[in-house]
Amino acid sequence: MAKSAAFFDLDKTLLAKSSTLAYAKPLFDNGLLARADVLRSAYGQFVYLLAGANASQMDQARDYMSDLVAGWDVALVSSIVNDALGTVIEPIIYAEALTLFDEHHAAGRDVVVISSSGTEVIEPICELLGADIAIGTQVAIEDGKYTGEILFYAYGDAKADAMRALAEDNGYDLAECYAYSDSITDLPMLEAVGHPFATNPDKELRQIAAERVWPVLDFRKPVAMKEKSQHARTRAAAGAASAAGAAALGMAWYARQRLRRH
């Protein structure tokens, strides 16, 4: 019998802010960002919260990230991301998103997070949230450092391609799958499944959702510590931790599989 999955964007869908921009301060504190980069990140976060990101801004973000991370030590970045989870990410998780995670797991669906943020950023976040599979932007690594070459950019049509490849390999029936995103740039992702949800949508996506009679979700409540604890207990009781391990959480699954094949 065909399986199904729930695909989630990360920023402004599961989190109230951009995950990458949220790490500006700890990256600065560890010497990886200059003050000008922190100011640019703060401004980018402000604009992103007001209006989201369009295609041009996403292209600019890709080029900026490529130049910025070249030469960074991968182990150091991973350490910073993990150490700052409690202060940077936990306060901006939407409680409503965790409820959806639990509902989809209870229905027997895999939960997949697919984000344009880098894999070293999203994988610890996905483990914290209880996702089964994490797919993110992959930057080439040589001798333990980023080269700046982007091997896979999880954005636009590439997200939908990743979902179709994952469905083929895991036996998902996309007509029975769910997808959640806030951005018009993720329209291909939403169109790839039978149950699309515009989640905290920007103006353009909200308009399309109204035209196509797609459900619209507006999340307002960053999760509290008590709710996170309840979510963790629910996941543990369902045996979700072992399921996440079996699904190879922590791997940029699509990027690595597709790169090996091509």
Return the minimum-mean-pLDDT range out of 2-16, 69-83, 111-125. Answer: 69-83
Q: How many CB atoms neighbour CB 42 within 10 A? A: 12
pLDDT band at 246 (very low <50, low <70, confident <90, very high): very low
pLDDT of residue 38: 46
pLDDT 10s digits, 5-16: 999 999 889 998
Q: Which residues are known catalytic residues? A: 9, 11
Domain boundaries, the chain: 5-261
Tokens at 11, concatenated: 């920023």
Return the minimum-mean-pLDDT range out of 38-42, 69-73, 124-128, 201-205. Answer: 38-42
- Which of 24-33, 58-67, 132-141 has maximum average pLDDT? 132-141
What average pLDDT does the structure give for the chain?
Answer: 78
Inter-residue contact 221 to 16 (CB < 8 Å): no
Describe the chain by its helix, strand, coil percentages, rounded to 5.
55, 20, 25
Write the single-letter amino acid at 94: Y
Q: How many CB atoms neighbour CB 171 within 10 A? A: 12
Cα(128)–Cα(86) distance, rounded to whole angstroms? 10
User: Model-level pTM?
Assistant: 0.80
- CATH number of the 5-261 domain: 3.40.50.1000
Q: What is the DSSP string of 90-136?
A: GGGBBHHHHHHHHHHHHTT-EEEEEEEEEHHHHHHHHHHHT-SEEEE
Given a cut of 70, whether residue 219 has pLDDT beyond it is: yes
